[in-house]
Structure 1
């Protein structure tokens, strides 16, 4: 059986979510769902092997979540993000005590994404 975990993150403003997740972080919208034109949005975004669900629905998730993403290319991601000069977020590149490169970003809704890449031994 294949297992996949997809975090659901609470958002409050679709335009800000697109600016952050699509325009700055480089995710792609895979699909969007609304029950009607005046309903909150629920959407799936992805980048590489990372998939997230973003929801405006009040009962889906609480703001302030932290998602740990173990991936490769964290130093390159850091350069890509800082080169975009996004005025609301300038993440650092940290070397974790457990032998990994890390980049932490904070979305406009209080959620945090921690991208982590184990350093070669």
Structure 2
């Protein structure tokens, strides 16, 4: 059996430049590269995570992904300061994680997950 090594999601975006700017300025990613003239495909990264962004194709708006981080609460404070679109502040989930829900300008959702800090909060995960 062949081992898989990693996965890189590809998110469809309306405006590559605006999406890259949001990921860099609001979500703390770095721009790795863009391709095309004008650019219609690119990559942003933070830590071990890379996300491809594709203008006008390769996917549908509103995709979800789960990203695991060291400290959800510190990230939440950073995102509040940067003006990121936070759809749900950190909660302790019944499945043993602490999660917050963030949205990008194209409606894609990032579930930022880390270790639970206590008992479940009894608040459902916001899925709308």
- Same fold, TM-score > 0.5, yes or no: yes
TM-score normalised by the shorter chain: which range applies?
A: 0.7 to 0.9
CA RMSD of aligned residues (A): 2.0
Using the alignment, how far apart are the partners of 2:40 and 2:113 within structure 1? Answer: 29
After TM superposition, the structure 1 = structure 2 runs for residues 10-89 of structure 1, keeping only pairs within 5 Å, are: 10-34=12-36, 36-37=37-38, 41-58=40-57, 60-84=58-82, 86=83, 89=85
| 1:7 and 2:6 are equivalent in the alignment | no
CA shift, 1:8, in A, is: 0.5
| Partner SS for 1:6 | coil
Give the TM-score of the pair, scaled to structure 1: 0.83
Distance 1:17 1:95, change over 3 A: same
In 2, the alpha carbon distance for the partners of 1:20 and 1:95 equals 27
- Structure with greater strand share of residues: 2
Question: Is the Cα–Cα contact under 8 Å of residues 11 and 63 in structure 1 kept in the other structure?
Answer: yes
Match of 2:122 in 1: none
Unaligned runs of 5+ in 1: none
Once residues 81 and 105 of structure 2 are traced to their aligned partners in structure 1, the CA distance between those partners, rounded to angstroms, is: 19
> Once superposed, which parts of structure 1, at least 4 consecutive aligned residues long, lie more than 3 Å away?
none
> Does the CA-based 8 Å contact 1:8-1:61 persist in structure 2?
yes
Q: How many residues align?
A: 115
Query: Does the CA contact (< 8 Å) of 1:42 and 1:57 recur in 2?
Result: no
Separation (CA, whole Å) in 2 of partners of 1:120 and 1:110 = 28
Q: Which whole-Å CA distance do the structure 1 matches of 2:23 and 2:68 have between them?
A: 18
TM value normalised by structure 2: 0.79
Given that 2:12 and 2:56 are in contact with CA atoms closer than 8 Å, whether structure 1 keeps it comes out as yes
